[in-house]
Amino acid sequence: MFIIQDTLVSLDVLEKEFSCDLAACCGKCCVEGDAGAPVSDEELREIQKVLPVVEPLMTRKARKVLREQGLSYLDPSGEQVLSIVDGVECVFMQRDSRHCCYCLLEQAFEQGKTTWRKPVSCALYPIRLTKVGARIGVEYNRWDICYPARISGKKNHTLLYQFLKEPLIWRFGQEWYDELELTAQEWNKQCRQK
């Protein structure tokens, strides 16, 4: 673990190669798992603002979940997470003609219909943020469904922290990312010299 400002960053974030290959995995992280994506109260307020734009595009089942359960629930660990359909699919997940998943929140943002993108936990995936005492833990959540991303990262020589540069800056700021990048460069240089 490395200390970067008020966070503890796992070594995997600096060393592991990773680059999403959506053509290969079809966005399975939006439909697999045992709970929805972690979400803050502030993010729920932002989702409420964009809901009139995305709700008409949601599946009938997803709209029913929203009516009956709301936008979020507490998972077994007590963390607030986005609601899911049939115990697996994010309510904001949609499928394209190839049956690949995409996010309605992000699509609305990219089309200029909203000014808010999506929860930071989604943007950061496969990095997960945890509580480690008074600090935030920044950890790599290795999952079998991301195997194509590990192959792509190796092929492109892209490290996890590089692939997630934009969302890491979005969450922690440019100064934090610059410190992380310098730490990663020094660490990886030392490893190559051994």
- The pLDDT tens digits for 150-180 are 888 899 999 999 999 999 999 999 999 999 9
Of residues 145 and 115, more confidence is placed in: 115
Q: Please, are residues 104 and 92 in contact by the beta-carbon 8 Å criterion?
A: yes
**Cβ count near 155 (within 10 Å):** 11
- DSSP for 119-155, written as a single string: -HHHHHTTEEEEEETTEEEEEE---GGGHHHHHHHHH
**pLDDT confidence of residue 192:** 64
Q: Are strands 7-9 and 135-140 parallel, antiparallel or unpaired?
A: parallel
Alpha helix positions (H), the chain: 11-15, 22-25, 41-54, 60-69, 104-110, 120-124, 147-156, 160-163, 165-172, 174-193
For the range 150-153, what are the long-range contacts, defined as Cβ-Cβ under 8 Å and sequence gap of 24 or more?
150/16, 150/17, 150/18, 151/21, 152/18, 152/19, 152/20, 152/21, 152/24, 153/16, 153/17, 153/18, 153/19
The answer to whether the bond into 56 is cis (omega within 30° of 0) is no
Q: Please, are residues 39 and 174 in contact by the beta-carbon 8 Å criterion?
A: no
Q: What is the pTM of this model?
A: 0.83
What is the rounded average pLDDT of the residues 14-40? 78
β-bridge partners, 89: 85
What is the residue-averaged pLDDT of the chain?
88
What is the rounded average pLDDT of the residues 87-98? 85
Quick one: what percent of the chain has pLDDT higher than 70?
A: 94
β-bridge partners, 3: 8
**pLDDT confidence of residue 172:** 95
* Residue pLDDT, tens place only, 58-83: 999 999 999 999 999 998 888 899 99
**pLDDT confidence of residue 33:** 66
Q: How confident is residue 21, by pLDDT bands cut at 50, 70 and 90?
A: confident
**pLDDT confidence of residue 194:** 59
